[in-house]
Structure 1
Amino acid sequence: MSNTPWVRHLLNEARRSLALARRYWVETLLSLGFVFSLFGGLVFAVLKASGQSLDSGQADGLITGFALWMFASGLAHGCAKEITEETQQRTLEQLQLAPLSLERLLAVRLLLETAVGLVLLVLTLALIALLTEGRVQLSAPALSLAVLGAPAMAGLGYALAGLSLLVKRGELLMMAAYPLVIGLVSLPALPLSGLSALPYTLAAAAARAASGGDAFPREVWGWVALNSAVFLALGLVVFRACLRQARQLGVLGHI
């Protein structure tokens, strides 16, 4: 019975997301088209700049990294995007009356965002596997590592959401975070080094290795799980501190 409110809110948020997608179907299609055109443009640009063909395999790691970036970016920007949209619609203060706290309501929406992102990740990796003729594999370990590292990106998302409560232009904050996420996904965190301690870097590096059929130490799984737990906790601490500050300053929901 204690899980009933969570299930009910999850279903309600799913219905809300579907209703918004249907109401603004043009924007939904444009956003999907933008993502895949960005993917195709990146592949073409990399191959054109390097003077190599797709069959050479030189761009496989970069292409796989792009798929992981799309997944990680959705997690890192999900909570901040919700805060920004609710602020623009002047409904953020009304959410304070919801049965779930703002933190938990964002968690419900983030679960849905993760599910959609995982579907897109599977489709993108399947497309990459087709384009690379099997050099990049749609493997269970790669997907598992991407999901296992997801809480670290969620923690970053909570921190951005907290900062969005205190600033007027949350969109600029999210735009500034895009290069950060690209860097975290792209860093060479294997073999284990100081870079592996950054959020999601080890998960992304291990997922790239797994998709390419490369071996990596078994202890990587444990380090990815620990990394996720630490950065999720830190992100929640930052979010709660910013939420308290926003309430004290009386700027919660102000445009």
Structure 2
Amino acid sequence: MRLVDWVRNRQSPTKWVILCKAVLKKQFTIMLRYRVNFAINIVTMYVLFAIVFFGGQAAVSQAGGSFNSLDSTLNGLIVGWFLWTMSQGAYSGLASNVTQESEWGTLEQLFMSPFGFGGVMWVKAIVNLVQSTVVGGIMLLLMMVTTGRILTVDLVTIGPILVLTIFTIIGFGFAFGGLALIYKRVQSVSNIMQFAMVGLISAPVADISWLRALPLVQGSGMLQASMRRGVRLWEFAPPKLVVLVVTAIVYPLVGYVIFSYCSSVARRRGVMGHY
């Protein structure tokens, strides 16, 4: 499409705001309508954390040690679990959205949107990030109450770090969303990513510096420094900020390229609206 045509056909910022509000309303309406399922997801994630926390307490006590000696490790566990909770919802949301739209028979309608299918999916990705932030905030509060630990929650610092960090994993969300367009159900493959994220969040960047280029890794380290030691955003070394920003741009773009290619394949095969 020529630049002139793109300018003529592009939507005004006001219309994009309306789209964002509509998708946000739909997402939270579904969440509230199926609130039992939402509550069970929260409880499941909390129970898993409680098992790790109280199980660790019991193991240390039986070994004759003091659980207070694991203060640093426990704080790191809370921050890592908080990031894992948000990342899981953000990356799996797009594939789930595609699967749901296919089941409802509304997927092809998204292609007829004046915003384009890609534009709608970008908005869905952002809304999934907002929803994941709500879930992550609830989990963080529950974990701090359970453990009695108070971490530094400087929104000016952790807000940008979280957004940029989650954007690195959104690229995988686009990739899995593209696979869902063709193969419809990719939950089994998607679930593997949950275990991979644990490794990325806990990656030893101090020993292997190139790991910082992987998704979640750089942001996880900066989030740990901010919430555990109170490091402010402007106190981080410029190279760390550069790596965080670059990965937050590259991975979503690569994921979107894969998503666009899968969309083309699904249309050629005539399986876009099939389930």
The answer to whether residue 247 in structure 2 is matched with residue 227 in structure 1 is yes
Matched, 1:175 2:191: yes
What's 1:124 paired with? 139
Cα 1:9/1:214, change in 2 over 3 Å? closer
How far did residue 54 of structure 1 move? 5.2
- d(CA) in 1 for partners of 2:137 and 2:36? 24
- AA aligned opposite 2:265: Q
Q: Does the Cα contact within 8 Å between 1:196 and 1:202 map onto a contact in 2?
A: yes
Distance between the aligned counterparts of 1:169 and 1:63, measured in 2? 32
Q: Is the 8 A contact 2:152 2:230 kept in 1?
A: no
Deviations 1:207-229 (A, max 9, x none): 11221107653421121001111
Cα distance in 2 between the residues matched to 1:31 and 1:20: 14
For the pair shown, the structure with the greater C-alpha radius of gyration is: 2
Matches within 5 A, 1:79-94: 79-94=94-109
Q: Specify the alignment match of 2:229 in structure 1.
A: 213
Structure 2 residues without counterparts, runs of 5 or longer: 1-10
**What is the identity, as a one-letter code, of the residue corresponding to 1:7?**
V
Q: Does the aligned pair in 2 maintain the 1:148–1:228 contact within 8 Å?
A: yes
Letter in 2 for 1:236: Y
Give the whole-Å Cα distance in 1 for the aligned partners of 2:196 and 2:174. Answer: 15
CA offsets, 1:41-72, max 9 Å, x none? 33223434454665331322122101100111
Query: For residues 182 and 213 of structure 1, do their structure 2 counterparts lie closer, same or farther at Cα, with a shift above 3 Å needed?
Result: same
Equivalent pair of 2:82/2:139 in contact (CA under 8 Å): yes
Match for 2:216 among 200, 215, 221? 200
- Residue 175 of structure 2 corresponds to which residue in structure 1? 159
Decide whether the 8 Å contact of 2:178 with 2:259 is kept in 1.
yes
Cα distance, 1:114 vs. partner?
1.2
Deviations 1:166-187 (A, max 9, x none): 2142222221221122222221
Amino acid at match of 1:25: R
TM-score (norm 1): 0.88
Deviation (angstroms), 1:154: 1.2
Indicate if the aligned counterparts of 1:190 and 1:202 stay in contact, CA closer than 8 A. Answer: no
CA root-mean-square deviation = 2.3
CA distance in 2, matches of 1:249, 1:62: 45
Unpaired segments of 5 or more residues in structure 1? Answer: none
1:139-154 → structure 2 map (5 Å cutoff)? 139-140=154-155, 141-154=157-170
